[in-house]
Structure 1
Amino acid sequence: MNRKTFLTGALALLATGVAYPALGQSIPATVDQPVTISYYNYNLASAGNGAEATKRLIAKFEAANPNIKVKGVGASSADITSRIQADVAAGRIPDVVQMVFSDLEFTVDNLGAAALEQIVPETELKAHFEGISPNGLQLGVLNGKTYGLAYTFSTPVLFYNADLFKAAGLDPDNPPKTWAEVKAAGLAITKKTKAEGIATGIFGPSAGDWLFQGVLRSNNGSLMSPDRKTLAFAEPASVEAVAMLRDLYDSGAYTNLDITAAMEAMASGNVGMYLQTSAIQGFLVKGSQGKFDLRASTMPRFGDKPQRPNNSGSALVILSRDPLKRRAAWELMKFMTSKEAYTVITSEIGYLPLRADIVEDPKYLGNWVKEHPLIQPNLEQLRMLERWESFPGPNYRQIQKTMMEGAEMAVFGGTDPAAAMQAAQKSAQAMMPK
C-alpha cells in the first residue's frame, strides 16, 4: 500500500469514528529524562495576534523545565484540525494541541483525545483547576470528563474609533449598544468622514461561526434542537437576525471586508467600528498608538433583548499516547494556563484572563487592567457567556460551512434571507447524524 492510499484509508476510518485508542494509564510523577513534545498552536501561525507572545511563553517554559523541549507547529485556527487529522492518520500523533472549541467533540470521538481525569492524579488536577473560571472549565467537558483545558478565550467586542465618532458628530463616551444604533452610527461615519462605518469578523473563510452564533442567540434564535438532531437556524428568530445584517449592508453602514482587510482597516483608522474577538486587541492597539483614540464596547443587542455572547477561542488537548510525553504535555498545559501565562496572554494578545484572581492583583494584571480599559467589555461579558455550540457527527465542519454560506448569500449576495437559510438548512440537515 503506498502512502497516498494509506492516508486516504486512514482518513476514511477517522471520519467514520474509528480512531487509534487512547491509553488510560496514569502519567509518571515527573519528567526525569530529556523528551521533545510537539505543540500544535494556531497563535503561532497568526499575523500579529500572539505569535511572538506564544514563542516567549514556550521559551520560558523550556527554561523552567530543562528536560522538556517543545516543537511548536503553527497552523491557522481554520486549518489546525485538518492538519492534526492528517498527521494522526499518517502516524505522526501530536502530543498537545490548541483546539478550537467547535472541534472538541470531533477530537474526542475521532482523534483519541485523553481525558485529564484518566491520566492526571486527582489531587494534582484539582489543585490546578483551583481559581480557573468555572464557565471556562465547563467548555472542555464532554460526558462528564475534561478533555480540553480552557486556554485562549474571548467574547465578541465592538472596537471603535473615538476620533471618527467625534468627526461624525457622535458621542464617543456613549457607543452603540443596539444594532439599530450601530446602523445609525455607521451611516453617520460614512456620510461625514472618508471612513467605512462598521466591519465584522462574522464572515470569511477563517471566520468559523462563533460570532454568527452570538448574533443569532441575541435575537433568541438557535442553531439546532435541544436533542441536537434537528437544525433550527432557518427558524424566524434566526432569519430575522440575518435580515438585520442584510439591512445593515444594504444601507451602506456595513462594509464587506475579509478578516485581514477589516483588521488592517480598523488599525489604520479607516473603519469606525469593528466587531471581532478581543484577540486582535494587541494588533489594534499597536496600529492606533499616536494616531487615534481606540476604544471598546460590548456586543450589540437587538432592542431590549439581552446580548447572548458565546466564546471564541480554544482548549489545550493531549493526544499523545506515550506516558512520558503525556506528563510533559500536562506540564506545558499547566504552565500555559498559569497566572504568569494568563498575564501575558491577556496583556499582549487580548484574550480573557480565565484566572479571575489575577485581574486585581498588582503582581499580575492589576495595574495593567487599570491602564487598559479595552479589557472591560470582555470581562463584563464573561458573566453572561453562552457555549459555542459544535454540530454533531463527522460532517460537523461541512454543516457549519453550509450554514455560513447561506447566511453570506443572504447578507451580501442579494438572496432573500428566509430562502437562503431554509435552503442551507435543508442541505445541512442531510449531513446530520441519523
Structure 2
Amino acid sequence: MPYQSKQLLRCLLGSTVGIIGFAASASAEVTLDVLYTTPGTFSTLQQNLAKRFTELHPDIKIKFRNAVAGYEEAAQQILRDQLTGRLPDVAFNGINQIGLFVDRGLGVPLDGFIAKEGGTAALGYYPTLAALGKWKGKMYGLPFAVSTPVLYVNADLVEKAGGKVDDLPRSWPELLAFGKKVEAAGNAGVTGLYFQWEQTGNWLVQSLVTSKGGHILKAGGCNIAFNDDAGMWALKTLESFGKSGMPNLGLAQARQSFVAGSVAVLADSTSYVAAAERQIGGRFKFRTVPFPLAAADGRLPAGGNMAMMFATGTDRQQAAWEYIKFVTGPVGQTQMVNLTGYMPGNAIAVETTELLGSFYGKNPNHKTSIDQLPILTEWASFPGDNSLKIIEIIKTNTEYLITRRQTADETMPLLVKEVAALLPPCAGQ
C-alpha cells in the first residue's frame, strides 16, 4: 500500500480528534446539493455516509435531493436542471451516462484534485474501475458502487433436480435445458431460469454481447458494432429465453420470486446480493456463481454508478471533492459494501483488515463479483442528445424478443436502422 494511503487510513481509523484534525476545512460553511438514485438500495447508506462525513468535515453540510428511481430518471432530471441552472453539486450517475453529460458540457474534471492527492493509485482506486470514469482523456467520475452480472442460484431447487451448484452448466442453452429439469422436479409455479433483461441501460443485454467478445459501439463511439456475429448471437439467446417459456417479469417481481423460492437460477446484478441474503433469511441455500462467458475473449460490462461533480466555484468544488473522495475512499466503500451487494472501487478497503480484509472470506456470495474484476469492460455510453432514446429503443425490442413478438432475424435490422439514425455523425463526416 502506498505511503500516502497508509497515512490516510490511519487518520480515518484514528480517534475523532485525530480525524477532524486531518480533515480539510472549508473557508466558510458549504451545503452540498447531492442527487442519488434507487432509494430502496441507497437511502440508508447515503444518510449514514453523510452523517459520518459531516462529523469529519463540520463546515460541509449535505442536503439530499429527493432520490429518483433509476439512472435514466436521474439523467433526465440533470438535463432539465441544466436548463434551469439548478444542477446538483454531486450526483451518483450510471457509469454509462458519463459521456452523455460531458458531451452536454456538464461535469467537472477531477484530474487536478486527484493529482494533488498523489494520483488514483495513492488514493487506492482499482485502475480498471477508475478508468471507467474517463471520457475523452479526462477523469469525470470515481467509482462509488460497482456491480457485475452474476447468477443467483437456489441450491435447494438445483439439488432437487439432481444437480449441484458447482457443476451448473456454463452455457445458456444448457442452463435453459437444466431449468426445464428444475421445473419438472419442482412445485407448480417454479421457474428454472430467469434473465433480468430489463436492467437499466440495457446492461444485461450488453453483457450478452460482450460475453461473446463483441462490442456495442466501435472505437470513437459514433458507429454501432453490435451488428456482427456476437450481436446476433446475443439476440438469438434472448429469443431462446422467450421460446423457452420464460415469463416476462418486472425487475422487482423477478427478485421477489427468487427470494420467495420460486426461481432456481436468476441472472442479475450483484447489487441485490445483500438484500437477497436478508430476505431469504436461511429459508433455502443461496449461492452466486459467475456469469457465463461465451468466448475466450469474453468480457462483462461494469455496472453501477460513479460520483460526479457539477459544482461551480472554488469553495464548492473543493467541498464536493472532499465528499467524493470520502464516499469513494476506504471507509466510505467499506460501509457501501456492508449495506449492499455492490463491489468496492477502492483496493485499500479490500486489503485492510480493519475494513473489508476478512469480509469476502466470510461472504462468498459477494466475492463472486470481485473474482470477475479482471474481465470487466466498459458499459457502453451512447453519445449525443439521443442517448436515453437509444436505450429505450433497445429495451423495447428486447421485450419483443422475450415476448415472442419478434425474432432475432427481424430485430437486428430494425435495431441497426433505428440506433444508427440516432447516433451523432463521426468527426469529419
Q: TM-score, normalised by structure 1?
A: 0.87
- Residue 292 of structure 1 aligns with an amino acid whose one-letter code is F
- Residue 327 of structure 1 aligns with an amino acid whose one-letter code is Q
Query: 1:158 is matched with which residue: 151, 164, 174?
Result: 151
Query: 1:57 is matched with which residue: 49, 65, 87?
Result: 49
CA deviation after TM superposition for structure 1 residue 407, in Å: 2.6
1:419–1:235 Cα change, 3 Å: farther
Query: Aligned to 1:139, what secondary structure does the other structure show?
Result: helix
- Residue 112 of structure 1 aligns with an amino acid whose one-letter code is L
Matched with 1:280 is 272
Query: Aligned to 1:209, what secondary structure does the other structure show?
Result: helix
**Paired residues for 1:331-370 under 5 Å:** 331-370=322-361
Matched with 2:26 is 31
CA deviation after TM superposition for structure 1 residue 125, in Å: 5.4
Q: Do the aligned partners of 1:197 and 1:255 also contact (CA within 8 Å) in 2?
A: no
Asked whether 1:102 is paired with 2:107, we answer: no
Q: Flag structure 1 segments of 5+ consecutive residues without an equivalent.
A: 1-28
Aligned length: 398
Matched with 1:136 is 129
Q: Do the aligned partners of 2:50 and 2:62 also contact (CA within 8 Å) in 1?
A: yes
User: Distance between the aligned counterparts of 2:313 and 2:85, measured in 1?
Assistant: 13
Q: Do the aligned partners of 1:117 and 1:125 also contact (CA within 8 Å) in 2?
A: no
Query: Aligned to 1:244, what secondary structure does the other structure show?
Result: helix
CA deviation after TM superposition for structure 1 residue 388, in Å: 0.9
Matched with 1:176 is 169
Query: 1:297 is matched with which residue: 289, 295, 312?
Result: 289
1:208–1:89 Cα change, 3 Å: same
Query: Aligned to 1:104, what secondary structure does the other structure show?
Result: helix
Q: Select between 102-111 and 222-231 the one with higher mean Cα deviation.
A: 222-231
Deviations 1:138-171 (A, max 9, x none): 1111222111112111110111111111112211
Q: Do the aligned partners of 1:200 and 1:259 also contact (CA within 8 Å) in 2?
A: no
1:157–1:418 Cα change, 3 Å: same
Query: Aligned to 1:230, what secondary structure does the other structure show?
Result: coil
Deviations 1:412-434 (A, max 9, x none): 23312121121121022111112
Percent of residue pairs bearing the same amino acid type: 26
Query: Aligned to 2:179, what secondary structure does the other structure show?
Result: helix
User: Distance between the aligned counterparts of 2:86 and 2:314, measured in 1?
Assistant: 16
Q: Do the aligned partners of 1:102 and 1:389 also contact (CA within 8 Å) in 2?
A: yes
- Residue 70 of structure 1 aligns with an amino acid whose one-letter code is I
1:65–1:412 Cα change, 3 Å: same
Q: Do the aligned partners of 2:100 and 2:382 also contact (CA within 8 Å) in 1?
A: no
User: Distance between the aligned counterparts of 1:182 and 1:345, measured in 2?
Assistant: 32
- Residue 28 of structure 2 aligns with an amino acid whose one-letter code is Q
Q: Do the aligned partners of 2:117 and 2:123 also contact (CA within 8 Å) in 1?
A: no
CA deviation after TM superposition for structure 1 residue 54, in Å: 2.1
Q: Do the aligned partners of 2:242 and 2:404 also contact (CA within 8 Å) in 1?
A: no
Query: 1:271 is matched with which residue: 238, 250, 263?
Result: 263
CA deviation after TM superposition for structure 1 residue 227, in Å: 4.1
Q: Do the aligned partners of 2:120 and 2:130 also contact (CA within 8 Å) in 1?
A: no
CA deviation after TM superposition for structure 1 residue 399, in Å: 1.8
Asked whether 1:414 is paired with 2:405, we answer: yes
Q: 4+ runs of 1 displaced by more than 6 Å? A: none
CA deviation after TM superposition for structure 1 residue 326, in Å: 1.1
CA deviation after TM superposition for structure 1 residue 255, in Å: 2.9
CA deviation after TM superposition for structure 1 residue 264, in Å: 1.1
User: Distance between the aligned counterparts of 2:406 and 2:114, measured in 1?
Assistant: 55
Query: 1:403 is matched with which residue: 394, 419, 424?
Result: 394
Deviations 1:362-398 (A, max 9, x none): 2011222111101222111101111111112111221
Asked whether 1:249 is paired with 2:220, we answer: no
Query: Aligned to 2:98, what secondary structure does the other structure show?
Result: helix
User: Distance between the aligned counterparts of 2:257 and 2:120, measured in 1?
Assistant: 44
CA deviation after TM superposition for structure 1 residue 226, in Å: 2.9
User: Distance between the aligned counterparts of 1:192 and 1:159, measured in 2?
Assistant: 19
Deviations 1:253-311 (A, max 9, x none): x3321101011111221111111111111110111113111100011123x64541110
Matched with 1:67 is 59
Q: Flag structure 2 segments of 5+ consecutive residues without an equivalent.
A: 1-23
- Residue 232 of structure 1 aligns with an amino acid whose one-letter code is A
1:111–1:199 Cα change, 3 Å: farther
Query: Aligned to 2:93, what secondary structure does the other structure show?
Result: strand
Query: 2:107 is matched with which residue: 109, 113, 125?
Result: 113
User: Distance between the aligned counterparts of 1:222 and 1:418, measured in 2?
Assistant: 19
Matched with 2:194 is 199
Q: TM-score, normalised by structure 2?
A: 0.88
Asked whether 1:84 is paired with 2:75, we answer: no
Q: Select between 98-107 and 169-178 the one with higher mean Cα deviation.
A: 169-178
User: Distance between the aligned counterparts of 1:406 and 1:356, measured in 2?
Assistant: 39
Matched with 2:18 is none
CA deviation after TM superposition for structure 1 residue 404, in Å: 2.7
CA deviation after TM superposition for structure 1 residue 318, in Å: 0.7
Deviations 1:117-150 (A, max 9, x none): 24x2732252775321000111111222111112
User: Distance between the aligned counterparts of 1:405 and 1:63, measured in 2?
Assistant: 46
Structure that is richer in helix per residue:
2
Matched with 1:13 is none
- Residue 341 of structure 2 aligns with an amino acid whose one-letter code is G
CA deviation after TM superposition for structure 1 residue 184, in Å: 2.2
Deviations 1:192-223 (A, max 9, x none): 113211222222xx622122111012223332
Q: Do the aligned partners of 1:232 and 1:425 also contact (CA within 8 Å) in 2?
A: no
